Amino acid sequence: GAVVSQHPSRVICKSGTSVKIECRSLDFQATTMFWYRQFPKQSLMLMATSNEGSKATYEQGVEKDKFLINHASLTLSTLTVTSAHPEDSSFYICSAREMGTYEQYFGPGTRLTVT
């Protein structure tokens, strides 16, 4: 079956530093990937849509200069949280849409803690 991985699964960083999260589609190609954020006891909130070879589309209220998204290949998208602050601590989840279909597969998530 279609598998999406995320790395790292957990990361702790200090306030003011940047952290990069990778999202990979392991056995399929994905022209589109999505990034979500989830705070405790809340639902997933879509942050941005990442398209291979082009700029990401951010949802309203999401700072594009703080959450840098790069989708350089058909199997990899990265989310970089720049100048992280404690309020950025959250569960970040990516999903990948299989090329030529509408089917989306989710990664296992990355737990970011900013101290």
Partner 1 sequence: DAKTTQPPSMDCAEGRAANLPCNHSTISGNEYVYWYRQIHSQGPQYIIHGLKNNETNEMASLIITEDRKSSTLILPHATLRDTAVYYCIVRVASNTGKLIFGQGTTLQVKP
Q: What three-state secondary structure class fits 101?
A: coil
Q: Assess 26 for contact with partner 1 (CB under 8 A).
A: no
Strands 76-81 and 67-73: antiparallel
Q: Does 111 participate in binding partner 1 (rule CB under 8 A)?
A: yes
Smallest CA-to-CA distance from 81 within 17, 10, 36, 34 is with 17
Number of H helices, E strands in the chain: 0, 11
Q: Which of 13, 80, 89, 106 binds partner 1 (CB under 8 A)?
A: 106
Nearest CB to partner 1, comparing residues 93 and 112 = 93
How many angstroms separate the Cα of 22 from the Cα of each of 61, 64, 94, 100? 23, 17, 9, 22
Q: Find the binder of partner 1 among 11, 13, 20, 44 (CB under 8 A).
A: 44
35 binds partner 1 (CB under 8 A): no
End-to-end CA distance of the chain: 37
Smallest distance, Å, CB 80 to partner 1? 20
Residues in touch with partner 1 (CB under 8 A): 4, 6, 32, 34, 36, 43-46, 49, 57, 91, 93, 95, 97, 102-109, 111
